Structure 1
Amino acid sequence: MTEKIISDDGSFHTEDEAVDLSATTAEGWLALAFFWVLGATVLYQFITRYVFNDSAAWTEEIARYELIAVVFIGAAIGVAKNNHIQVDFFYRHMPAKMGRVMSTVTDVLRIGFYGAAVFMTIQMMEKIGNQTRMTIVDLPMNIVYGLCLLGFAAMLVRSLQVALIHYRRGYSVLERPESTMEDR
């Protein structure tokens, strides 16, 4: 029997579940912090533009860079949970051993991609140095690229952890789409 939300007398009954933030990763908290700073920046932009009719020019550029930080650092959350877009159709129709090999190749390619992204971001930061500046705010662009580097590095670490989990348990989400990273 399912629990009734509306009782026989027409009253609405529901209980909130306890909130557990213990599983929130460091990059999750950092992405949340950047998100709130982005929200405050956009609110400041809104107030200066529509209330005071004197828009703060720096807010649009800084908000763009804060959004970049949210995306790159937040992408590591998706890597940690292993819930980025994937096609598991073929894995359902191929032999189990072949699926295992293909899944392992996918993990290795993912690690290689994030490793290459970290390496190339470092190279780019070294080439441009602190000479290239932001358009309106007089700060080096390497601050923005450093946030991208942080995101790529976090994705690399998380992809290594995910690959290790897949290796230890003997299957990945590609092979068994009904499983999650919490099924350890």
Structure 2
Amino acid sequence: MPIQSSPARDAAPAPPPPADDDISDIRLVDTPVIVVFWVLALVVFLQFFTRYVLNNSLGWTEEIARYLLIGVTFIGAVAAVRRESHIAVELLYTRLPRTARLALQLFVDVVSLAFYAALSWLCVHLAQRTFQKMTSIDVPKSLVYWIVAACFAAMALYQLMVLVRHLSRRTSRLIDPDAATSTGPNL
């Protein structure tokens, strides 16, 4: 009896994953956000398990999950500034001539840089004035503010690099959208 091939074996190979699934731009500096994210997932699972399975919730999991979510947000924002992937309203850019788009991009870069630097400075002052401890564990709340301040300082540093690159190359994904990828080049 002849062996018949199955349709699954004769099928064409699967197409490559879409560009959105490409993770080749992950760098070593993205490690903290990945670690904090998985610690957050573990703490939330632990909270769910102890509350609904064991009927005896651990008190510290809710507060720690809240602070870890703050960490994921701000550490992730550092990666977004590095990758130039923060949200942007492109409607105005599409209606302006190229020189005006460049001027607007540089203006946005300078305002972003000033914003990140100012918030870093404010977070440092807030951290220096916070002496309270977390409710469920004996850790100062100022630690959270120090981490946020460090994230804003890192965002300011990356935004400065982005500004220098936009000044030197005179282009970005908003200035020349046809020549750029969906996110900016990595730093």
**C-alpha contact (below 8 Å) 1:48/1:54 kept by paired residues:** yes
- List 4+ stretches of structure 1 deviating above 4 A: 7-10, 19-22
Task: Describe the SS at the equivalent of 2:129.
Answer: helix
Instruction: Give the match for residue 123 of structure 2.
Output: 121
Deviation at 1:13, TM superposition (A): 2.4
Structure 1 residue matching 2:147: 3-state secondary structure: helix
Find the counterpart in structure 2 of residue 4 from structure 1.
none
Is 1:182 the counterpart of 2:185? The answer is yes
| Residue in structure 2 matched with residue 155 of structure 1 by the alignment | 155
TM-score (structure 2 length as normaliser):
0.82
Q: Deviations over 1:143-182 (max 9, x none)?
A: 1112211221221111112112211211122212331423
> Can you list the C-alpha shifts for 1:70-104, whole angstroms capped at 9, x where unaligned?
11000111111112111222222223222222211
Aligned to 1:43: 45
- What is aligned with 1:137? 137
- Structure 1 window deviating more from structure 2 (151-160 vs 106-115): it is 151-160
Q: Which runs of 5+ in 2 are unaligned?
A: 1-6
Q: Percent identity?
A: 34
Over 3 Å counting, the alpha-carbon distance change for 1:94 and 1:12 in structure 2 is: closer
Match of 1:66, SS state, is: helix
How many angstroms apart in 2 are the aligned matches of 1:84 and 1:123? 26
Q: How well do the aligned residues superpose, as a CA RMSD in angstroms?
A: 2.6
What secondary structure does 1:91 align onto?
helix
Matched residue of 1:163: which SS? helix
Q: Is the CA contact 1:91–1:174 (under 8 Å) kept in the aligned structure 2?
A: yes
Contact (CA 8 Å) 1:27, 1:74: kept in 2 or not?
no
Query: Which residue is 1:111 aligned to?
Result: 113
Where in structure 2 are the equivalents of 1:58-97 lying within 5 Å? 58-97=60-99
SS class of match (1:48): helix
Q: Supply the AA of the counterpart residue of 2:135.
A: T
User: Are the equivalent residues in 2 in contact too, given 1:27–1:154 (CA < 8 A)?
Assistant: no
- Tell whether the 8 Å contact from 1:27 to 1:73 is kept in structure 2 after alignment: no
How many aligned positions are there? Answer: 175
Cα offset, 1:12, TM superposition: 5.7
Measured in 1, the distance between the counterparts of 2:112 and 2:88 equals 12
Partner of residue 169, structure 2: 169
Secondary structure of 1:75's counterpart equals helix
User: In 2 relative to 1, CA 92–183 (structure 1 residues): closer, same or farther, beyond 3 Å?
Assistant: farther
